Amino acid sequence: MYAKFCRDILKAVGREGSRYTVTHNDSVACLPLPSAMVSSRDINAVIEAAELGVVYAEIDFERGRLRVRVDEDASNTGPGTFPMRKAPYMNPENLSYEDKENVRRVASALTTASIDGVQPSFEIWNGLTTCHLFACSPASKYDHLILMDLLRDYAWSYDVDKKEVVVVIPLQGQPRKRRKK
């Protein structure tokens, strides 16, 4: 069952047939990630469909891998509650108050999920209907289960080459118009 779970994840991220390592007690697997964009939805779908309980899932950009720890008893796992860490001050321009708060909430979730204890740096790209938030270096490891729990309503992916997490935030309010002087 554990080997099937690992093969399913490798298939979901486009690395079907790749070799992976398992620790001596068969509880932690290290799976290679492709050197391209990996959608969180693919990994989430495998985790939610697994008959095993996923206790821990870590994305490591430095090594380009996903570390997963499972428990044979799926009842031992489930959504947790995570104390949100404060994100750095950000004031995205030309967004409504509600949209700014959503961007700050997503930045807090990414800060909370940073495993190395380092504050990620953020870049923002505003479109007409969406805002893309990029969590860049110096953070290099993220807890996938925390992101899965806190960012369930958003589309997000891992860019393994650029070592960043990209979150797409739908904009709800009307953008503020700039005043001409």
Query: Which of 34-43, 47-56, 73-82, 92-101 shows the lowest per-residue confidence on average (mean pLDDT)?
Result: 73-82
Mean pLDDT of 164-178: 79
The pTM of this model reads 0.84
Q: What is the CA radius of gyration of the chain?
A: 18
Q: What is the pLDDT of residue 178?
A: 46
Q: DSSP labels for 14-48?
A: T-TT---EE-TTS-EEEEE--SSEEEHHHHHHHHH
Closest to 140 (Cα-Cα) out of 162, 109, 155: 162
- Averaged pLDDT of the chain: 85
Q: What is the pLDDT of residue 175?
A: 54
Mean pLDDT of 150-167: 93
Between 87 and 128, the more confident residue is: 128
| Cβ neighbours around 144 below 10 Å, total | 23
What are the boundaries of each domain within the chain?
Answer: 2-76, 97-170
CA–CA dist 72, 129 (Å, integer): 43
Instruction: Please state which CATH class domain 2-76 belongs to.
Output: alpha beta
Cβ neighbours for 40, distance < 8 A, ≥ 6 positions apart? 144, 147, 148, 151, 155, 156, 157, 158
Q: DSSP labels for 85-144?
A: PPPPP---TT--HHHHHHHHHHHHHHHHHBTTS-PPEEEEEE-SSEEEEEEETT--EEEH
Between 41 and 79, the more confident residue is: 41
Residue 178 φ/ψ, nearest 5 degrees: -80, 140
Instruction: Determine what percent of the chain is predicted with pLDDT higher than 70.
Output: 88
Count of CA atoms in the C-beta half-sphere (13 A) of 89: 0
Q: What is the pLDDT of residue 76?
A: 55
Q: What is the pLDDT of residue 117?
A: 78
